[in-house]
Amino acid sequence: MKSSLKFKDLGGDFFAHVKTQKLEDTILIHINENLKQELNLKVTDKDLLRICSGEKQLAKESPISSVYAGHQFGYFVPQLGDGRSCLIGEVGGYELSLKGAGTSPFSRGADGRAVLRSSIREYLCSIAMQGLNIPTTKALSIVSSNSQVYREHIENAAIITRVAESHIRFGHFEYFASKGQDENVKKLADFVLQHHMPELNHRDYLGLFKNVIHSTAIMIARWQAQGFSHGVMNTDNMSILGLTIDYGPFSFMEAYDPGFTCNHSDTQGRYSFERQPSVALWNLQRLADALKSIIQEDQLKEALSFYEKILVKEYSNLMRSKFGFILQDEDDNSLINNFLELLYTKKKDYHQSMRQLLSQQQNTLGDEFDSWFKDYQRRINKEESLNQSVALMNQVNPKYILRNYLAEVAIRKAEDLNEFDEIDILFRLLEKPFDNHDGYESYDSEAPEWAKSLELSCSS
Ligand code: AMP
Ligand code: MG
């Protein structure tokens, strides 16, 4: 099967051709079968392993790694790029990218590899986000190997195959703008318009920027409503299509805490949970700076002024749904805020507490919630149909969340015992997180004592 890759039409300023570097004793440890079907990828598992480990070429041309720049923790880095990932081809309108298949000219001295531990986390989080209706890059497969890589300890290398309509980041535009290559900024914008925003007119650069603002605002609103913390919101980790991309030290919040910072290396809390909405706006401003040669400044500014409105509207709809509110009541916002305040002071689990609202007949949240719960009952009884409210709540309050300890159990089994069944269990629960899965009730439990001190840091 030979496919071509549109991104390469952009020309040599945008990427370098690379050769994937072989890993030892590779095993296909999981496949996203639904995605494989959606892509209409008709290959045997044996061939899939060869393609997804970089041994067999998918496209006519060799893989490519692209160059981009980015603001990392507030500071501009003029050249980054796909240091350990490469696009291998396009299938069914999606780009396939291998993460961890070796070095590229953009590796900056690093080894081009990804460790099994972080690959399992990215693989599982990709399906978890899909299950939660949060825009994300997807993951087709995970391949493990016996090749060793050196981090804090020696670890096994792995490769995930990432799938997205486009892997273009804000940083791609920043790279060309910072070099004063306005023609390439325009070329890239034309490419995005033509291939990813066909509903817009040719050269509607402002329309493109408005689309990025809109999709970013929706993505962030959904992160906030579902307690997702990305951890490394640098502009090179922001997708032009508003997809969650580059999973590193991400975490779903457990005990509710707006100041929660999942990345252990982020000592200033720059990317804390509550700052995500304003950081995304700051990142959009950096994208606006990079688009100044093709969009007038007053238009960029005006477009940015809509970001907050879009975000607040989406967030508010989701939060109201979580509480089962269909009618509008003037006290709804304060009722929701009081609940979050209580969760924070009582260190209650965000997701479990939301699920407990579903048993609306009695307060199962604890005595501290008595008074709040009475107000809530009064409010929910105003709804025309309690059943309808409960149905709505069941669609937005997940039973299953990718808690760090659950991922850790799957990682331990894979690393220590070469057993991958736990990955499959989590995959199936997270793919449909709002459903009941008989026999897997314990997977919705809060973290056990041993897992409370798990720490996550930047890329690995
Ligand atoms: P991240 O924060 O994981 O998105 O990575 C930031 C930059 O470092 C990106 O340009 C990555 O491609 C690059 N990078 C991270 N880890 C490696 C690695 N092991 N080898 C080569 N490049 C890497
Ligand atoms: Mg990155």
Q: Does any domain span residue 15?
A: yes
Provide the CA 50 distance to its chain's centre, in angstroms: 26
Q: Which of 164, 184, 219 is the last residue of a domain?
A: 164
385 has a pLDDT exceeding 70: yes
Q: What's the mean pLDDT in 40-48?
A: 95
Q: Does any domain span residue 452?
A: no
* pLDDT at residue 254, as a whole number: 95
Residue 31, CB-side half-sphere exposure with 13 Å CA sphere: 20
Domain count of the fold of the chain: 2
For residues 101 and 112, give the distance between their C-alpha atoms in angstroms, rounded to a whole number: 7
* pLDDT at residue 140, as a whole number: 98
Q: What's the mean pLDDT in 394-409?
A: 97
**pLDDT tens column, 243-300:** 999 999 999 999 999 999 999 999 999 999 999 999 999 999 999 999 999 999 999 9
- Look up 236 and say whether it is catalytic: yes
Query: 84 C-alpha vs ligand 1 centroid, how far in Å?
Result: 6
For residue 250, give the 3-state DSSP assignment: coil
Q: Does any domain span residue 152?
A: yes
Q: pTM score, two decimals? A: 0.97
Domain with 350, as residue range(s), is 318-396
Q: What's the mean pLDDT in 338-346?
A: 97
Q: Indicate which residue's Cα is closest to atom 4 of ligand 1.
A: 246
Q: Does any domain span residue 262?
A: no
Q: Which of 164, 190, 218 is the last residue of a domain?
A: 164
Ligand 1 in reach of 110 Cβ (< 6 A):
yes
Residue 270 CB partners (closer than 8 Å, separation 6+): 73, 74, 279
For residues 173 and 170, give the distance between their C-alpha atoms in angstroms, rounded to a whole number: 6
Q: Are 260 and 272 in contact (CB under 8 A)?
A: yes
- Report which ligand 1 atom has the smallest distance to the Cα of 82: 12
Q: Does any domain span residue 294?
A: no
169 pairs with which residues across the strands? 239
* pLDDT at residue 459, as a whole number: 58
Q: Which two three-digit tokens encode residue 203? A: 């050269």
Q: Does any domain span residue 186?
A: no
Q: Does any domain span residue 92?
A: yes
For residues 66 and 263, give the distance between their C-alpha atoms in angstroms, rounded to a whole number: 26
Q: Indicate which residue's Cα is closest to atom 5 of ligand 1.
A: 459
Model confidence at 93, in pLDDT bands (50, 70, 90)? very high
Q: Which of 132, 164, 196 is the last residue of a domain?
A: 164
Write phi, then psi, for 162 (nearest 5 degrees): -95, 145
Q: Indicate which residue's Cα is closest to atom 18 of ligand 1.
A: 112
* pLDDT at residue 3, as a whole number: 61
* pLDDT at residue 333, as a whole number: 97
* pLDDT at residue 2, as a whole number: 57
Q: Does any domain span residue 254?
A: no
* pLDDT at residue 60, as a whole number: 86
Query: 236 C-alpha vs ligand 2 centroid, how far in Å?
Result: 6
Ligand 1 in reach of 113 Cβ (< 6 A):
yes
Query: 178 C-alpha vs ligand 1 centroid, how far in Å?
Result: 20
Ligand 1 in reach of 107 Cβ (< 6 A):
yes
Ligand 1 in reach of 84 Cβ (< 6 A):
yes
Query: 83 C-alpha vs ligand 1 centroid, how far in Å?
Result: 5
- Report which ligand 1 atom has the smallest distance to the Cα of 68: 10
CA torsion, points 289, 291, 295, 300, in degrees to nearest 10? -40
